[in-house]
Structure 1
Amino acid sequence: MKHRLLFLSCLSVILVALAACSKDEGSDTPLYQYDSIEYDANRKILITYFSWGGNTQHLAEEIANMTDGTLFRIETVNPYPTDYNECTEVAREELDNGVRPELSSTVDNLDDYDVVFVGCPVWWHTAPMAVWSFLESSGYDFSDKIIVPFCTYASTYREETLAKIVELTPDSRHLQGFGTTGRNTGGMESWLRTIHIIR
């Protein structure tokens, strides 16, 4: 009987550990609560994005087309390697060491915008450190902004990446984010209508 109880106890510990690991593998359950707004045609919209392979740039351009927003590309002083494997190594080193890479340009008139989209690919389960630089180290004040996160990803960690953008802008209002695989823009128009950015 003691052996059976010990076995059941061990089994329950293993199941709890597996459940915790599966959450780390990515989830479709949103990790943040988002605000809601009413549609206002007078809002000025800025679409900021970091893109390495072009997928996030494609998504940002589509958002700009649908919203008449202004595009701003987040770029680093030292570009990331064009080779995929080398780029992943640099990205991992930055993440592991908390490096905020220096950015090559700034938004001159951020105060003019009401809504700021922030987009990026998923790198090592989160937003690239260039996005951290933009949101944390650039001297911008996002406290009175409506932040809308979006991302492109291969298979998982969409919600974790969207949640990181929210975490990096704690004093802003946040609308429901959007994530897609590759350059797939299916559902984007519906999303923009749902969050009352377009009609």
Structure 2
Amino acid sequence: MKRTLAVILSVFMIFALAACGNNDTPSADNTTKQPPASDTSTPESPDESTSGTEVIPTEGQTNGNILIAYFTMPESDGVDAVASASRVVKGGEVLGNTQFIAQAIQKTVGGDLFAIETVQEYPGDHDNLLDFSEREKAENVRPELSTHVEKMDDYDVIFLGYPNWWGDMPMPLYTFLEEYDLSGKKIIPFATHDGSRFSRTIRTIEDLQPNATVVKDGLTVTRNSIVDAEGDVNEWVQSLGITK
């Protein structure tokens, strides 16, 4: 009788333990994991205005591999929203001639604007500027630049703009072209002038960057046609097969 009772009690305990085991909470390894909040948030945009660099991107632009680098020298004497030989006024803003064309290119094709600037200041008076730039050319000076492209490898196409001074590029362009290795990149020149067009500056660019592809069908705009040149810029850029 005692043995029978012991068997019955043993069977009852086995069923009770089994029931308790079915009510256990699942372990963490069996739960569905949710991604952390940072995985679904919008990443912050990097700061474009790093020290010594002035790369201005187009908002929403799609051609992030394009750089529009330019040197401009608007004469500052008498700047009162009046155009001169080297500057243009649009919407009350005074712009250098080459700067104006560079901005027109950016509107057409996107890309990043980059102003080539120097540590030294150039004369604001027209005659003094001519004399100063002539001495720089005669002495083959390489002016120190105050702005630099920190991620040049990110660009495949470089629009390169400058005024024609004394039948040549301004000397800061020599500094710029000697600072970077543009091998494998496409360089597209554009220039503002007073009748000399490119002179031999395209050949000079080829000499300074022999492993780059320099487009010979560049754009030149006379100083008297700057304000009305946006249509020509758009047509020229489209002829290159580069669009937004």
- TM-score, normalised to structure 1, is 0.74
Q: Distance in 2 between matches of 1:86 and 1:107?
A: 30
Q: 1:60 aligns with which of 63, 85, 102?
A: 102
**Equivalent residue for 2:121?**
79
Aligned partner of 1:47: which letter?
I
Aligned partner of 2:243: which letter?
I
SS in 1 for 2:114: strand
Q: 1:178 aligns with which of 202, 214, 219?
A: 219
Q: Distance in 2 between matches of 1:157 and 1:191?
A: 15
Distance apart, 1:187 and its partner CA? 2.0
Aligned partner of 2:73: which letter?
W
Structure 1 gap segments, 5+ residues each:
1-40
**Equivalent residue for 2:11?**
none
Q: Distance in 2 between matches of 1:124 and 1:159?
A: 9
Distance apart, 1:157 and its partner CA? 4.0
Q: How many residue pairs end up in the alignment? A: 157
- Spell out structure 1 runs of 4+ moving beyond 4 A: none
**Equivalent residue for 2:156?**
114
What whole-Å deviation, never above 9, does each CA across 1:37-85 have from its counterpart, x for those lacking one? xxxx766100000000200000001101111110000011001111111
What whole-Å deviation, never above 9, does each CA across 1:127-169 have from its counterpart, x for those lacking one? 0001011001x2x110021100010001124242333333322
Aligned partner of 1:131: which letter?
L
SS in 2 for 1:143: coil
Q: Distance in 2 between matches of 1:166 and 1:178?
A: 16
Q: Distance in 1 between matches of 2:70 and 2:189?
A: 10
- TM-score, normalised to structure 2, is 0.61
**Contact 1:46/1:117 (<8 A) preserved:** yes
**Equivalent residue for 1:154?**
194
CA RMSD of aligned residues (A): 1.7
Q: Distance in 2 between matches of 1:72 and 1:44?
A: 13
Structure 2 residue 173 is matched with structure 1 residue 131 = yes
**Contact 1:150/1:162 (<8 A) preserved:** no
- Identity rate of aligned residues, in percent? 39
Distance 1:146 1:78, change over 3 A: same
Aligned partner of 1:51: which letter?
T
Q: Distance in 2 between matches of 1:69 and 1:169?
A: 21
